């Protein structure tokens, strides 16, 4: 019996060693991602980046062009196309699905639950949550980016208007606005616009690309107005001033809308957390008074 246990232990150790050796050999074959021209990774993503890089190496060549185009579009609208490539986004989804599925498996095991279907359901739920978590992350970045753009756009339009009225062309006005305006996603997009123009791309095409990248009605209106003004020869100063006034009014209306929505959004937390505590405290003092009066 002891000899059999020793043999089983040696076999199990050999299997574990072979698995570790295979994984190590596979990880050595995975080429390191060249991130010299990309933005730094967030802290959480940096912790699992070797796994993401390995998953990208496996599934990247098997992705179809339409999936890559859709992923690139999602990264562009969220302003993360210099953080992840479309292939790396799918690799992140695979790694997220695997890690969350393993976590759910361990959680069910720690709860000492029994039943194969329970484990399968937990793993399936974890895989779905892990697969869609990068979409939630991109959605949060996209919403934050759009709020910042809506806040900064009137300021940039004012700078561009003053520069154009002072005698500069639109490209020079955008360059001055980028230098003087507040930092943020809008400054980054205007910098990319200037880089496209300097590389020889027509200004109308560069503006169209900027509109496609950001996918916002405010930016589409601004770029469309500049393109149309260039074609018909309209006065850019008056056009830009009208755009700045409209964007500022839209920002004010949006702030007013959010202020009016605040009481409605506060109602659920008040009903769930605040009001029960008040009723509990009042009920306690009423209970004490009824005991003093001999009612209870």
Out of 124-128, 218-222, 280-284, 289-293, give the one with best mean pLDDT.
124-128
Supply the pLDDT for residue 31.
57
Q: What are 194's two structure tokens?
A: 């200037």
The yes-or-no verdict on residue 92 having pLDDT over 60 is yes
Supply the pLDDT for residue 11.
67
Average pLDDT rounded to a whole number, residues 108-133 = 81
- The answer to whether residues 105 and 119 touch, using CB atoms and an 8 Å cutoff, is yes
Judged by average pLDDT, the poorest of 11-25, 48-62, 96-110, 268-282 is 11-25
Contacts of 258 (CB under 8 A, 6+ apart): none
- CA atoms of 193 and 203, how far apart (whole Å): 8
Nearest alpha-carbon partner for 52 in 82, 84, 20, 17: 84
- CA atoms of 191 and 73, how far apart (whole Å): 19
pTM: 0.71
Query: What confidence tens digit (pLDDT) does each residue in 185-202 have?
Result: 888 888 888 888 888 888
Cβ-based neighbour number of residue 48 at 10 Å: 15
The domain ranges of the chain are 41-143, 147-248
- CA atoms of 73 and 80, how far apart (whole Å): 10
Chain position carrying tokens 């990309």? 38
Half-sphere exposure of 14 (CA within 13 A, CB side): 6
Q: What is the DSSP letter of 80?
A: -
Q: φ, ψ for residue 295 (rounded to 5)?
A: -75, -35
Average pLDDT rounded to a whole number, residues 68-85 = 84
Judged by average pLDDT, the poorest of 4-13, 52-61, 253-262 is 4-13
The yes-or-no verdict on residue 48 having pLDDT over 60 is yes
Average pLDDT rounded to a whole number, residues 88-107 = 87
Supply the pLDDT for residue 26.
46
Supply the pLDDT for residue 29.
58
């Amino acid at each position: 019996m002891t000899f059999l246990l020793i043999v089983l232990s040696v076999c199990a150790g050999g299997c574990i060693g072979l698995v570790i050796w295979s994984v190590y050999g596979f990880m050595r074959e995975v080429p390191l991602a060249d991130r010299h021209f990309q933005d730094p990774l967030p802290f959480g993503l940096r912790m699992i980046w070797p796994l993401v890089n390995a998953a990208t190496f496996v599934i990247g060549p098997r992705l179809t062009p339409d999936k890559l185009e859709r992923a690139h579009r999602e990264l562009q609208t969220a302003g993360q196309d210099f953080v992840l490539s479309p292939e790396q986004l799918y690799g992140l989804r695979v790694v997220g699905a695997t890690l969350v599925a393993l976590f759910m498996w361990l959680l069910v095991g720690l709860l000492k639950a029994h039943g194969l279907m329970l484990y399968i359901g937990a793993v399936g739920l974890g895989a779905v949550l892990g697969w869609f978590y990068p979409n939630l992350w991109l959605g949060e970045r996209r919403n934050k980016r759009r709020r910042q753009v809506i806040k900064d756009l009137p300021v940039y339009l004012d700078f561009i208007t003053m520069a154009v009225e002072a005698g500069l062309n639109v490209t020079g006005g955008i360059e001055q606005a980028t230098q003087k305006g507040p930092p943020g996603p809008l400054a980054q997009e205007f910098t990319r616009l200037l880089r496209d123009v300097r590389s020889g791309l027509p200004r109308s095409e560069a503006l169209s690309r900027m509109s496609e990248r950001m996918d916002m009605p405010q930016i589409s209106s601004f770029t469309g107005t500049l393109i149309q003004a260039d074609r018909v020869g309209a006065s850019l100063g008056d056009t830009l001033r009208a755009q700045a006034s409209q964007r500022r009014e839209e920002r004010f209306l949006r702030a007013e809308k959010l202020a009016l929505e605040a009481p409605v959004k506060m109602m659920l937390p008040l009903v769930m957390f605040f009001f029960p505590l008040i009723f509990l405290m009042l009920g306690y003092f009423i209970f004490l008074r009824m005991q003093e009066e001999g009612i209870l």
